[in-house]
Amino acid sequence: MTRADKLDNRLSIEKSDPGRRGLFCKNPLRVKAKIPANLRRKAAPRLPELAEFDVVRHYTRLSRLNFSVDTHFYPLGSCTMKYNPRFNEEAAALEGFAALHPLAHDTCSQGTLELLHDLGSRLTELLGMDAITLQPAAGAHSEFTGLLLAKAYFEDKGVGERSEIIVPDSAHGTNPATASMMGFTTVNIASKPDGRLDVEELKKHLGPKTAVLMLTVPNTVGIFESNIEAIAKAVHDAGALLYMDGANLNALIGLVKPGDMGVDMMHLNFHKTFSTPHGGGGPGAGAIACRKHLAPFLPVPTVKKDAGRYVSDFGDKRTIGKVKAFFGNTGVLVKAYAYMLAHSAKEFGEIAECAILNANYVAARLKDLYPSYSKEYCMHECVLTPGADLAAKGIKTLDVAKGLLDRGFHAPTVYFPLIVHEAIMIEPTETESKETLDEFIAAMRDVHAQGAADPQALKDAPVTQPVKRLDEVQAARQPNLRW
Amino acid sequence: MYIPHTKNDKEEMLKAIGASSLGDLVKQVPSKFLRPKISLPAESLDEAQAAAKLSELSKKNRRPLSFLGAGAYERYTPAVVKAVTSRTEFLTAYTPYQPEASQGTLQAIYEFQSTVCSLYGMDYANASMYDGASSFAEAVRAAVRVSGRKKIVYAAGMNPQYMDTLKTYFAHSPEYSYVKVPLKDGALDKAALPDLLEGAACLAVQTPNFLGVIEDMDGVSDMVGKAGALLVAAADPVSLGLLIPPGEYGADFAVGEGQSLGLPLAYGGPYLGLFSCKKEHVRQMPGRICGMTKDRDGKRGFVLTLQAREQHIRRDKAASNICSNEALCALSATIYSALYGPEGLKELAEANAGSAAAAAERLSAIKGCSLKFKSPFFNEFVLTVPGKAAALREKVLAMKGIDPGLPLAPLYPELGETLLVCATETKTADDILKLEAAIKEAI
């Protein structure tokens, strides 16, 4: 970053000059529509007036202010910030895919439908499931879809109202938020000291009102729910359904089929396990894979192969309907399919293994300074804490996070899961090499040394970024949300 | 495969961990579940093979000259948009949880929010939703929360897919009722409003509506206000280069499908949900919001703010469960708007309206065809055709490789045999002549 990058922090509108033009649209037909004056806007929208080059320079400058997977190790726990293969981007940009209108006649969309059909079949095989919808736009949107399936399933069975969703206290915030959005009551249950779901506690809360247990596997502490069989049995004995939050699927892909463990339905995040880029917050793409008994309720359309042709299938009357206009985030799904083609079953298993290896390596090399929450080997992510030395100096997890930024590393996920005090959640992913992990480990150790020797310096971090620590209180009290 | 580990790396790492094998690390997984048989192709493809396979698949899609619209619009995507959004500092970053290392994404979100506010004439906007349909559903949910009522009144011209999505969002509860305001010459029948609005949470209107008609919103918000309801408006952002923005006709919430701002059609996504509201509803806004603030040295900076509405803080009390959004699409739309600017967007909107007007004039002159409505329209219109519209579409497609538009009978049986024909700025005079000739030949 140059000095000029740091200094010129004007908004695009502040660079605007009246009358300056970027792109033109030269009305190809030279026809002016007869739209009455009372329907026309009186004042033009307040948008920047810039030359094309101004726009390029402005946004190129902004891009340079970001950390990203391509420029920095980004060990954000639960987010699976793995390498996003360039090839996938090229595939999605192919004109045949990118220019296809969502309402195109089936005779015009055979390529995309075939791709979606094949992606769906391969995924159900990998996950040990029977059916899938690719319509949800993201993970939380998938959870919403999953709970709708549950609702429809119980209504169809005519079993009376099941109004409760059980969620462990280690769960992602989206689980309880989705449950309440759907009108369910969330029943929180405390995890055991080792971070696992307490099966006896679960049994106390299971009953005729229970609709679904939402369980993240491996859980957010990064360990596997070893009692999964007993959990699934207890849930099914109560007539309820087991939903697996697949946010952490990168630990299991190719290694375990969730369907074998008694999971009735699960979601996956293509922008995590299947390597599609996060784009600064999206777009992602989600899916719900389910067993046979939930398949009739999936959103429509799905893709069906019929007499050698692929057709949009609008299902039977029991479908929950649409969760989104059109088919889904197809552009993202093309990228996921490209990733799928690049892996055999065995190679998927290696993804999980190396993700697990990397997380354990980081935990092992840092355990003297940053104790792990769990005493066991972790799966794809480890949850550490700042440790007694730093705590004694008043150093918080936030300070460690900011210290890492100054050392050229994105911070891990911090203060999550909520059950771990001062959590530092590190998910290296399988695409990072031992060398990168060694550099990261060295940076973590260096942060520790600084925190012990000169705690104030660490509390002042970051000092190398475009801005120092920001006043979040002012941002919330006097919201300035637009120009 | 994108794994860097050599055999040597693995051994050294295992040694540092103190484990004897990779199997040691997954002992917590019951062995019966480990390494199941997976029936996928035994060999993965190398990049060249995968490229060939994907290219072949993409060519199985046909690309007719298309007059389809109905909520997704063919646009030219400028080179600058593609170039800047493919900068991997934007592409491969995540949600700006560490603001000091994410000022680029954050400032872009702030500029996006500002762009949406300016286009829609609204006070505040969020950092994006999944698409127009889910944005619309969230706006109605917010209106329901604000009003405490459960009757949803909607214009017959609302996009049917938006209504389907809304009904799915409320599927958990039978208490919600839906009342449709009938069409009058393809537009909202305002005379019917006072009665229908009684006890309503909101009126949901789209303009230009699904049938292409530009609604005259004069007086609507007064009627809505009198009933103690809220106004939820959906509008195409490009149309707002030309048309009255929702803020000026009193919308409480205004939403839209941002795909229209130059995003590829991509068979339905990723698109971009635009969501904006009046100031007083800001705490009902779902999703992420970026705000401007200062750093320790008093320097301008940006952070995610008002997070007490969101799932990661409020859990089961959150305004919505949304987490990932469509940030890169939002960046794309922001750049598109900055490139065209106010004048360029007006030109785009005029060109859309002009193309559609030209197409309507030619097609309605065909014997047996006519415009269904007299109301002014934007970039699409309803054309009555002789015989079955679906059969006509298939025939024109098969014979001439032209998609003449969407048959409306499955969605609006009351309109008879009609096509919804869309012509954006991508259409030339020659394209329209071709369509005209093809329809003539087919009927």
Domain locations along chain B: 79-335, 346-442
**Quick one: average pLDDT of B214-233?**
98
| pLDDT tens digit sequence for B386-432 | 999 999 999 999 999 999 999 999 999 999 999 999 999 999 999 99
Say whether pLDDT at A2 is over 70. no
Give ∠ CA B255-A146-A144 in degrees, rounded to 5. 25
Separation between Cα atoms, residue B274 and residue B291, nearest integer Å: 17
CATH superfamily assigned to domain B346-442: Aspartate Aminotransferase, domain 1 (3.90.1150.10)
B258 backbone dihedrals φ, ψ, rounded to 5°: -75, -5
For chain B, say whether A178 makes contact (Cβ under 8 Å).
yes
Q: What is the CATH number of domain B79-335?
A: 3.40.640.10
pLDDT (0 to 100) of residue A3: 52
Structural domains for chain A: 3-63 (no CATH), 87-341 (3.40.640.10), 353-465 (3.90.1150.10)
ipTM: 0.97
For chain A, say whether B55 makes contact (Cβ under 8 Å).
yes
For chain A, say whether B160 makes contact (Cβ under 8 Å).
no
| pLDDT tens digit sequence for A181-239 | 888 999 999 999 999 999 999 999 999 999 999 999 999 999 999 999 999 999 999 99
pLDDT (0 to 100) of residue B395: 98
Q: Do A103 and B68 touch (CB under 8 A)?
A: yes
Q: Do A325 and B131 touch (CB under 8 A)?
A: yes
Separation between Cα atoms, residue A143 and residue A179, nearest integer Å: 9
C-alpha distances (whole Å) from A468 to each of A68, A403, A448, B223 are: 19, 12, 20, 50
Say whether pLDDT at A287 is over 90. yes
Strands (E), A92-248: 131-133, 164-168, 185-189, 210-216, 241-245
Share of chain B above pLDDT 70, in %: 100
Q: Quote the pTM value.
A: 0.97
A 88-147 → B contacts, CB under 8 A: 89-92, 94-105, 107-112, 114-115, 122, 125-126, 128, 137-141, 143-144
CB nearest to A360's CB, from B17, B118, B305: B17
Say whether pLDDT at A1 is over 70. no
Tokens linked to A456: 């104030």
- Suggest the residue from B315, B396, B426 to mutate for an interface test with chain A (most A CBs closer than 10 A): B315
- pLDDT band with cut points at 50, 70 and 90 for residue A103: very high
Q: What is the number of CB-based contacts under 8 A between chain A and chain B?
A: 697
A 440-459 → B contacts, CB under 8 A: none
- pLDDT band with cut points at 50, 70 and 90 for residue A6: low
Share of chain A above pLDDT 90, in %: 93
| pLDDT tens digit sequence for A431-478 | 999 999 999 999 999 999 999 999 999 999 999 999 999 999 999 999
Tokens linked to B287: 């999703």
Looking from the CA of A219 toward its CB, the CA atoms found within 13 Å total 28
Mean pLDDT taken over chain A: 95
State the smallest CA–CA distance between residue A51 and chain B in angstroms: 7
Give ∠ CA A441-A445-A449 in degrees, rounded to 5. 170
C-alpha distances (whole Å) from A471 to each of A348, A474, B305 are: 43, 6, 10
